[in-house]
């Protein structure tokens, strides 16, 4: 469901059916990346030209993956991302109480980085400005609001070390 050419689609990489990628030229996928089905990479229309999503070689992204992107989300090499995971570097504005939130646009809140070898479990949400270190585990349905050091397992809402 996306037209246009990706910024890069690495050798041996595959994208399952049903993906919606709003700005394919801003998506850079390494070699041997497998992406499940029915994902959505949503770009802030006001910053689309400066936004960039990178997925490192050897990574796996499950079904129903959702990204909200204004500037930069970087997923390193050999990262496993389970089904129904959300990652965003922006959020909806909600400063005008008499205006529907959908009409207020997005606000960038910080780059997101996921370190090499990490595993993001099913249903997790990675919020703006978060860096997840190398070889980390994010538990099922966790909401990550703060940085996670290398090798740490987190879970819960908000996510905390386990």
- In whole angstroms, what is the distance from residue 92 CA to residue 27 CA? 22
Q: Is residue 107 part of a domain?
A: yes
Domain enclosing residue 56, as ranges: 8-161
CATH number of domain containing 28: 2.160.10.10
Single pTM value for the model: 0.95
At 81-90, the pLDDT tens digits run 999 999 999 9
At 68-110, the pLDDT tens digits run 999 999 999 999 999 999 999 999 999 999 999 999 988 999 9
Q: Residue 99 burial (CB < 10 Å; 0-12/13-18/19+)?
A: exposed
- In whole angstroms, what is the distance from residue 93 CA to residue 9 CA? 33
Q: Is residue 103 part of a domain?
A: yes
Q: Is residue 57 part of a domain?
A: yes
Residue 46: predicted pLDDT: 82
Residue 45: predicted pLDDT: 84
Q: Is residue 1 part of a domain?
A: no
Q: Is residue 2 part of a domain?
A: no
Q: Is residue 66 part of a domain?
A: yes
Q: Total domain count for the chain?
A: 1
Q: Is residue 3 part of a domain?
A: no
């Amino acid at each position: 469901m996306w037209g246009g050419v990706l910024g890069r689609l690495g050798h041996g990489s595959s994208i399952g059916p049903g993906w919606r990628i709003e700005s394919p030229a801003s998506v850079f996928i390494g070699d041997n990346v497998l992406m499940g089905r029915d994902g959505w990479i949503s770009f802030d229309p006001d910053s689309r030209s400066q936004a960039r999503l990178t997925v490192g070689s050897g990574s796996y992204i499950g079904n129903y993956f959702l990204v909200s992107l204004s500037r930069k989300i970087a997923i390193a090499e050999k990262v496993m991302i389970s089904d129904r995971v959300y990652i965003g570097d922006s959020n909806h504005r909600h400063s005008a109480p008499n205006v529907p939130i959908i009409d207020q646009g997005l606000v960038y809140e910080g780059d997101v980085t996921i370190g090499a070898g990490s595993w993001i479990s099913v249903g997790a949400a990675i919020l703006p400005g978060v860096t997840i270190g190398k070889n980390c585990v994010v538990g099922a349905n966790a909401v990550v609001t703060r940085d996670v050091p290398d090798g740490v397992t987190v879970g819960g809402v908000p996510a905390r070390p386990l």
